Structure 1
């Protein structure tokens, strides 16, 4: 069995990831969240639900030790600090593979005028998401950092990827596509190692996401 821990498991994107991961019969999944009560629908022989605080390194250590892959779908204004703890624990216990969700725009890589609009709406979150990417990239880990933009509940799973240093394409990222892409990475963990990827949907270019036009 391949052991995977999903941090920040209560989030909507995390739930989409969990659903796709459990389609793989060789996955043993640990769901780590501050509150476990909303995760009861995932209970099964292959799922371990752990209630803990990512600010507590002992809790993180207990959840991460022995895992093959760590997926970070955490959020919040302290995300960068939380990620420092995750990286520290992973390096301590010898777990190397991490897939982490940051956010598009942290490098001012969104095309104009979308970049200016996005910065005006959520620019205050960029520093902690940037720190998240930087902490991971400066580590010894085998990482993939994903930078989605405005999240939707659309069912589309096709993605458009851009690499760090390239202009981002699109204005929307579906949670379904994140779930599919992350699950595929877990299935083939050697793909996109040391990669920092913008992830969005094709044909969503514009000055802002469709819901805000």
Structure 2
């Protein structure tokens, strides 16, 4: 499989790249702004780097050649999301996994939901996340949308739980390592289990009023 990682310089994207290189035979296209300055090819047989902006549809079209799956590391700009989806349609690429944030459906209940709204609920970036999710869900692509709770790093902690769209979101935090593991599990899933789904992603047993690091 050939996998395109958009936003390849991000933390989760870098972890995903390492997992794919070390544990699979998939080839990888790494796409990032100033990508050649921020990234280095570790395996010439499996990796290639493209410099580009998410809004640059012609450059995106160049990266899509023979791609089987796209991972979008950030959906915080709806114009970028539309350009990516348009490029996928042009190239005939149908499978996409995209990282978003919790709260886009007002699905976070209780004290944590109130805290989350105070922190990010009214921000322009949240509006963009909401609109990006709407565009993706109406795109006719085989999508998996990941609504990530508050992120932190902890090596070796790959525990995650998921909730479905329409269910209350539970869990105040999750490691980037766990999100990476989930993405790997989705990529390697042979069934339609994760297709056309919007998944809330959190760490088990973190049903708290706010993340532990706040």
TM > 0.5? yes
Partner secondary structure for residue 113 of structure 1: helix
Matched ranges for 1:167-178 at <5 A: 167-178=168-179
Tell me the distance in 2 between the aligned counterparts of 1:134 and 1:167: 19
The CA deviation at 1:43 is 4.8
The CA deviation at 1:160 is 0.8
Identify the residue that residue 34 of structure 1 maps to in structure 2.
33
The CA deviation at 1:199 is 0.5
Which runs of 5 or more residues in structure 2 are unaligned?
Answer: none
Tell me the distance in 2 between the aligned counterparts of 1:42 and 1:53: 22
Partner secondary structure for residue 211 of structure 1: coil
Tell me the distance in 1 between the aligned counterparts of 2:164 and 2:100: 14
Per-residue CA distance 1:113-170 (angstroms, 9 max, x = gap): 1111111112213211111111111011000000001111023112110000100110
- Check whether the contact 1:64–1:95 (CA below 8 A) recurs between aligned residues: yes
Identify the residue that residue 110 of structure 2 maps to in structure 1.
112
Q: 1:87 to 1:75 in 2, by over 3 A?
A: closer
Tell me the distance in 2 between the aligned counterparts of 1:15 and 1:54: 17
- Check whether the contact 2:75–2:132 (CA below 8 A) recurs between aligned residues: no
Identify the residue that residue 207 of structure 2 maps to in structure 1.
205
**What TM-score do you get using the length of structure 2 for normalisation?**
0.93
Identify the residue that residue 46 of structure 2 maps to in structure 1.
46
Pick which of 18-27 and 60-69 moved more: 18-27
Per-residue CA distance 1:28-54 (angstroms, 9 max, x = gap): 001100022221164542111111111
Tell me the distance in 1 between the aligned counterparts of 2:42 and 2:8: 11
Query: Does residue 162 of structure 2 align to residue 154 of structure 1?
Result: no
Partner secondary structure for residue 99 of structure 1: strand
**What TM-score do you get using the length of structure 1 for normalisation?**
0.93
The CA deviation at 1:15 is 1.0
Number of aligned residues: 209
Query: Does residue 22 of structure 2 align to residue 20 of structure 1?
Result: no
Tell me the distance in 1 between the aligned counterparts of 2:41 and 2:210: 35
The RMSD of aligned alpha carbons is 1.4
- Structure 1 stretches of at least 4 aligned residues deviating more than 3 Å after TM superposition: 41-44
- Check whether the contact 2:161–2:204 (CA below 8 A) recurs between aligned residues: yes
Query: Does residue 191 of structure 2 align to residue 193 of structure 1?
Result: no
- Check whether the contact 1:74–1:101 (CA below 8 A) recurs between aligned residues: yes
- Check whether the contact 2:97–2:145 (CA below 8 A) recurs between aligned residues: yes
Partner secondary structure for residue 147 of structure 1: strand
